[in-house]
A and B are shown apart, each in its own frame.
Chain A
Amino acid sequence: MIEIRNLSKWYGDFQVLKDINEEVKQGQTVVVCGPSGSGKSTLLRCVNALEPFQQGEIIVDGRSVTDPKTNRYELRAEIGMVFQRFELYPHMTALQNITLAPKKVRRKPTKEAEDHAMTLLERVGIPEKANEFPGNLSGGQQQRVAIARALAMEPKIMMFDEPTSALDPEMIKEVLDVMIDLSKGGMTMIVVTHEMGFAREVADEIIFMDEGRIIERGTDVSFFENPRNQRTKDFLDKILI
């Protein structure tokens, strides 16, 4: 589904991604962790062409991201994205947040888009908040609306950029539950997170990034129990308490 080959990216002289290689197969969930500034978010943004890169190749569902023939708007419509700070549109209700892109990009009639949005709000457990503005929702509720907004485009892939980092502890679970549900439902996912409980439960692969490089990768348990790299070990010690 996603193939990243020899990806390198620079901001000016600073190399933020260094020769990244990764493959995500259909239906897999890949968890990316690592200290801040290690290039995790940048990696996600390269996949849906929100950021340009200078070297290497990313192929999403058979299409190269950098190929001029690839329509990047269509590409992005196929990839749902959830942000750390939710990024709901504050001037629109939850329902309007969800239906905007289906109406504009997919040209869905309003009624159809709203029905679908309601189904999604039920799926994330807050249908009663449809007509609330984001400012009146808790962080956990906002993030669930954001997930519904991404799902409304019926994407083939979902990317999560630290979706629970800005949440109060008691709200983390409600968001993770939705994500676990998605993953078990067969969605292809890349998740940047430090929620190792989530990783244990659903990750098909966990990669650890540091200073723009993938320095460790593992499938499930082996990753936590005997990391080969000292850097990984130190990091895991810190976040696993």
Chain B
Amino acid sequence: MDWAVIPRNLSFLLGGLVLTFELAAISLAGGFLLGIIMGLGRLSSRKWIYYPASLYVNFFRSLPLILVIFWFYFMVPFIIGRPLGDFLSAIIAFIAFEAAYFAEIVRGGIQSVPQGQVMAGYSTGLSYYETMRHIILPQALRNMVPPIVTQCVIIFQDTSLAYVIGLKEFLRRTSLVDSRELRSLELYLFAGFVYLIFCSIGTIASRRLESRQIRR
């Protein structure tokens, strides 16, 4: 074993980790926002909103992420006439894909708020938007925190799949270093260790939040 390979390439590897975090953060924010919209759509009593939202969620939940990444990478340039670049097309793929999972989290969170709260909001003259914004979503968000943290951990791991379109995120850079240095064992152990650290932090945070919720 020659662990010196890691300090030697550390800045290159950490650069990939930064990209991984960027990818995860943007996917999380975008996926969550789109997920709220889709989740609300799944709860709509209007068929023309409910069916498209349900179709969206079920569609993306039945596809492997790697396929979605390929799709956006190859299809979007075909539609808009110019290449998007690997980062942007990966971002779009992640947002579209994760939104489907967030939609289900949002739906569950909102359904956990008693229906009487909606009635109370409406009865004072608040609109649907105001009732959601000020009464339902703040309560639902509280219930959604543990599954959202879990989903963050999953997104963080999922970003490694962006290597299939050549994006130089953390895992991709590890394999690039490996092809140069031929130190597979050390490098992939190190990569695993890094993922383990960050995902454990997320998992522990999630468990803490959950137990706090139970006590309340």
Contacts and interface: CB of A to CB of B under 8 A. Distances in A.
Interface string B122-158: 1111110010001100110010000000000000000
A83 B116 contact: yes
Interface of B: 114, 116-117, 119-120, 122-127, 130, 134-135, 138-139, 142
Interface string A82-105: 010101111100000000110011
A78 B124 CA distance: 8
Nearest to A77: B125
A50 B122 contact: yes
A79 B123 contact: yes
A52 to B, nearest CB: 11
A191 to B, nearest CB: 15
B138 A87 contact: no
B124 A149 contact: yes
B71 to A, nearest CB: 40
B120 A89 contact: yes
B130 A104 contact: yes
Contacts of A152: 124
A152 B125 CA distance: 12
B116 A105 contact: no
A87 B120 contact: yes
Contacts of B120: 81, 83, 87-89
B124 A153 contact: yes
A83 B119 contact: yes
Contact of A74 (B114, B125, B138): B125
30 contacts: A45-B119, A50-B119, A50-B123, A73-B125, A73-B126, A74-B125, A76-B122, A76-B124, A76-B125, A79-B123, A80-B123, A80-B124, A81-B119, A81-B120, A83-B116, A83-B120, A85-B114, A85-B116, A87-B117, A88-B120, A89-B134, A91-B142, A100-B124, A100-B135, A101-B124, A101-B125, A101-B126, A104-B126, A104-B130, A149-B124
